Amino acid sequence: MPQQIPVQAIVKQSLQVELNGNLYTLNIIQTQGCMSMDIISETAGLNLLAQRCNAASLVIPFQESENGAGNFIFITANDELPGYEEFGLTQSLYYLTDAELAPYRTNPQTILALLSTAGTITGAAVVAGVT
């Protein structure tokens, strides 16, 4: 099941979260009028810095870069660019496993139906949230 990652309505945030057996450090920051995200995970073999965040687009830009570990996607009202002011209100960040991404890869329109089944990461799954 896709997981919603709780993001706060603040300009710069960093959190560690365990997803699908991998520990991720996510740094989300406003940069030059858009949101950018660092995705770092030693267990998943990822060290991607300053990935531009777009609505309904995968944050890790290339499937080969995912290393089979999944990907992240922002869903926003009216496909607006993600902006921290709307985090938790009209904009959400989700994590999808490689298997959950398979239908999206063949038909990107399936993402909304898939995310309607998402659970929210709570408590123990969020290792740390630092502003």
pLDDT one-digit tens code per residue, 51-63: 999 998 999 999 9
Annotated domain spans of the chain: 3-123
Which residues lie closer than 8 Å to 99 by C-beta, 6 or more apart? none
Task: Please identify every stretch of the chain with a pLDDT value under 50, giving residue numbers as ranges.
Answer: 123-128, 130-131
Residue 70 backbone class (left: φ over 0; alpha: ψ -120 to 50; beta: rest): left
The pLDDT of residue 131 is: 44
